[in-house]
Amino acid sequence: MKAIVENNETFKITSEKGDFYICESNKGKIKMFAKCKVQVVDIDSMPIAKKYKAIEIKVTDAKVNAFAQKIKFAEMNENFFM
């Protein structure tokens, strides 16, 4: 498989158009490179893209109750001073 390595990123060559290579990264982004400015390299397979875990935020009933109590306390103090 033909590829281009640019800034430590590997792009697979999908097609050629005139003086340009149309390439796809391992993340799926498409980019064009001028033929005169890059070198074509043969690779066996594309590197695997990094996948990050989504952060899960768990809201418990205790947190909801504590927040409700803070709101009630703030409203009570607000009404007390008026």
Give tens-digit pLDDT for 11-65: 999 999 999 999 998 888 999 999 999 999 998 888 887 778 887 777 778 888 8
- Check: CB of residue 34 under 8 Å from CB of residue 22: no
Q: Rounded to a whole number, what is the distance in angstroms from the first to the last CA of the chain? A: 76
Strand pairing report for 2-6 and 9-17:
antiparallel
Round to whole Å and give the CA distance between 35 and 54: 39
* pTM of structure: 0.57
pLDDT at 82 over 70: no
Going from the C-alpha of 58 to that of each of 11, 28, 49, 53, 54, the distances in angstroms are: 39, 32, 28, 15, 13
